[in-house]
Amino acid sequence: MTSVATQLNLLPTRPSGTAVTLEGGSCNSSLTQDPWDFPTPLVEGYGPGASQNDVAPAGSPAQPTIPQRYRDASPEELDAMIVAAKETLGERAVVMGHFYQRDEVVKHADFIGDSFQLAQQAKAHPEADAIVFCGVHFMAETADILSQDNQSVILPNPAAGCSMADMADEESVEDCWADLMDVLGPHAVDENGQTVTDENGEPLASVIPVTYMNSSAALKAFCGRNGGIVCTSSNAQTVLEWAFKRGQRVLFFPDQHLGRNTAKAMGVPLEQMPMWNPRKELGGNTAQTLKESRVILWHGFCSVHKRFTVGQIDKARAEYPAAP
């Protein structure tokens, strides 16, 4: 059984405007109206930034006003406009469509994948002047990091964000790091207060920062400045193994669940994985708890994933026993 990612990567190249057809349909959304047609207050199902009328948090980017001719156009007319624009631009523009996008967006994508796969595709196409990234802001930032200096990465909706990525901001992580350095110091020490070294005699770091790819470019840069690394969900264990060779413990953000599940599978006990709540002093921990830790988990999570329950999984398995 191949993974979903592998199956989608094997999809043949298709002309723009040709939909991928899956048995039973791949999108059964109750959100039948266009996002700009929803009035305020928000209709359940659309978050801040989905509509030009949404009330987003202060200081966040906003969806610019969409020209009236696009709002008045039918789905068929919009499809024709996109196809015509792509034919005119040719190789000058490449469209990236994230797995999570709806069918009417994905069918125009030149490449489909997760954020890491699409960032790699952006890097692999230096001939394109513009990379249109149909995803959220951290994804477009990652593509921009890997793209050429002469290329522009375009995020169609600047307000498209990831709630989990936004749970760890640069200022809060910097404050956390300063507190950890005050408590733990820069180098690892044993129970006798002696500096711990690696196999080459070099001092181990007291803590290595690891950020999930679903985070801002600022936090990726933070990890780079402080001897850390970026992981994806598929290589999280390899990254933690890398980090433990260089440090006594890991600060993992923003996804507590990816950090916890990966470390637990590696044999790290839960009692050695305290949570860091940026709104509390020392993240809600004692100095001793931090000293005894192996993985310090940031208080971040995917708001969508949190809505799934064990009961729902049990029900799905009972109804679809052949599902992987």
Tokens of 98: 């994230």
pLDDT at position 18 is 43
Domains of the chain: 4-30+73-154 (3.40.50.10800), 165-298 (no CATH)
pLDDT in 10s for each residue of the chain, 324 residues: 333 333 334 343 444 444 333 333 444 444 444 444 444 444 444 444 444 554 555 566 677 788 999 999 999 999 999 999 999 999 999 999 998 888 889 999 999 988 888 988 989 999 999 999 999 989 999 999 888 999 999 998 887 888 889 899 999 999 999 999 999 999 999 888 899 988 888 899 999 999 999 999 999 999 999 999 999 988 999 999 999 999 999 999 999 999 999 999 999 999 999 999 999 999 999 999 999 999 999 999 988 888 888 898 999 999 999 887
- Confidence (pLDDT) at 159: 78
Please list the alpha-helical segments (H only) found in the chain: 4-9, 68-72, 75-89, 103-106, 115-123, 137-146, 170-184, 217-225, 236-244, 256-265, 287-291, 310-319
Neighbouring residues of 35: CB distance < 8 A, sequence distance ≥ 6: 46, 50, 51
Comparing CA positions, the residue from 322, 256, 323, 321 lying closest to residue 295 is 256
So what's the pLDDT on residue 162? 86
Please state, in angstroms and rounded to a whole number, the distance separating the CA atoms of residues 82 and 285.
53
Ramachandran quadrant class, 2 (left: phi over 0; alpha: psi -120 to 50; beta: rest): beta
